[in-house]
A and B are shown apart, each in its own frame.
Chain A
Amino acid sequence: MSDTKKSFLIINRKAPYGSSAARDALDVALTISVFEQPLSLLFMDDAVLQLLPAHNAAAIGQKNLSANLSMLEMYDIDQLYVCQRALEQRGIRPDDIELNIILLDQSGIAALIKKQDQVLSF
Chain B
Amino acid sequence: MIFSIVVTGAPYSSQASASALQFSRSVLKLGHTIHRVFFYADGVHSGSALAAPPQDEANIPSEWTALACEHDLDLVVCIAAAVRRGVLDENEARRYEKSGHNLSPDFTLSGLGQLVEAGILSDRVVTFGA
A/B: CB atoms within 8 Å of each other: yes
Interface band, chain B:
10 to 19
Cβ contact within 8 Å between A28 and B115: yes
B6 touches A120 (CB 8 A): yes
| Docked CA distance A31–B111 (Å) | 9
B120→A21 contact, CB < 8 A: no
Interface segment among B14-22, B24-32, B121-129: the answer is B121-129
Chain A, interface size category, equals: 20 to 34
Evaluate whether A6 and B113 lie within 8 angstroms (CB atoms) in the complex, with A21-B41, A120-B125 already known: no
B81–A28 touching, CB < 8 Å: no
Asked if A121 and B41 make an inter-chain contact with CB atoms under 8 angstroms apart, the answer reads no
Closest Cβ–Cβ distance, residue B112 to chain A (whole Å): 4
Write out the residue numbers on chain B whose beta carbons fall within 8 Å of the beta carbon of A2.
117, 120-121
Cβ-defined contact, A4 with B112, below 8 A: no
Confirm or deny: A43 has a beta carbon within 8 angstroms of a beta carbon on chain B: no
Residue B125 contacts which of A27, A32, A118 (CB distance < 8 angstroms)? A118
Chain A contacts for B119, CB-based, 8 A: 6, 8, 32, 37, 118, 120
A60 within 8 A of B: no
Give residues in A with beta carbon < 8 Å to B.
Answer: 1-2, 4-6, 8, 20-21, 24, 27-28, 31-32, 34-35, 37, 118, 120-122
